[in-house]
Every structure is written in C-alpha cells, then in structure tokens.
Chain A
C-alpha cells in the first residue's frame, strides 16, 4: 500500500530535550516536505527536499533541522524544543502537483 508513515504519532516532551520525528514514504517520490498545523493558521511549510541531499527552508524553519540521506526518509529534528513548537506536524511526499500526507504527529513541549 502506497503511504507516508510518521513516528511517533504522539509525543510529550520537555523544553530542551532533543527529539526526532521520522517520516518514510514507499512511493519513490523525490519531493518530501514537513508542515506544521496550528489553529487558525492552516498548514505552514517548515522544510522541503527536492531529492537526496537537497533540502531548503520553507516558511517557518526556525528551530528545526532536516536531513535527506535516502530517498524514502526525511526526518525532522528539533535540537532544543520550546513550547512554541507545540503543534501538529505533517510529513508529505509527492511528485509534480500532488502531495500525499502522513497521518500527523502531535507534539507537546512542556
């Protein structure tokens, strides 16, 4: 089954404790992206990747890092999480105009 998977689905952590949210896709897509969703703000792009080893900032990259060492994986790294990064995060992959979204990761930073 073609899909985008994210782990974990839910995470509660404390300020400053490094964490990684994994994203994997099995559709051989070159393009992958991370978004955060906050009430009243819709989805905002954090980082995206056009291909392996090619990443670029989206609209809200501050406080996040990404890496793209393999085509299928695109982890999101929070080196020192802060409460304002409490949000619902979505990974997506796609080609041309259609992006497929993962199920989301709800992150709470205390």
Chain B
C-alpha cells in the first residue's frame, strides 16, 4: 500500500516553544488530514486540507497541503502542556468507485519538558 513518511518520530520541547512536523508521500492524495491521539483514546481530527497549496489554521495549529499534493506540514505555536500526545498525518484518496481510503503516517510523539 501507500507509504507516508512522518517526521520527526518524537519531539521533546519546552512549554512555549513552537513545533513543526511533516509528512511526505510517494503518491498523490486528494485530502490531507491531521489527527491527535491522547493516551487511552482514539485519534481526533484537528485539521483537514482539501486543495493543493491550502493553508488552514485552527487556533494555535496551522497546516498546509503541499503544492505537489505529496506532502503536508503541521505547526503548533506556543506549545502548552495539553498539546502532549501523538500527532498523525493521514492522506485520503477516493477511487473511481467512491471508495474512501485513509493512509496514516507513523506518528510524531510530542512531549513537553517541564
């Protein structure tokens, strides 16, 4: 299947720092999504991107859909303790039959050092 390379795998930062993570793919996606997973819970959608070049914000989070449609990045500004978790990118394709397939990256684990 399609592969999504997500980096970095983990980040250790201090509260107040900005965070940046990205995903790259060998394939083109129609939609890029960013999810956050907290311990003991399922992933929750943070931001959805629908068009190449699109830049979308959700509070302190900003994500962009790469021009080539093969990459996306997520930035978090002025991190706070509740930002801790695992962040996943996901690329979505829609087949000719309307099938929706979501391919996930391997995740970036964010830890905030006190």
Contact = CB atoms under 8 A, between A and B. Distances in A.
A90 interface: yes
Interface in A53-110: 56, 58-59, 90, 92, 94, 96-104
B71 to A, nearest CB: 16
Interface residues of B, number: 26
Contact of A59 (B1, B100, B106): B1
B102 A45 contact: yes
A100 B104 CA distance: 14
A43 B31 CA distance: 17
A37 to B, nearest CB: 8
A101 to B, nearest CB: 3
A21 to B, nearest CB: 14
Nearest to B41: A103
Contacts of B100: 31, 48, 50, 94, 96-97
Among A40, A42, A104, max chain B CB count under 10 A is at A42
Contacts of A42: 4, 6, 88, 104-107
Interface stretch (B14-22, B44-52, B53-61, B62-70): B44-52
B42 A45 contact: no
A33 interface: yes
Contacts of B98: 50
Contacts of A100: 45
B92 interface: yes
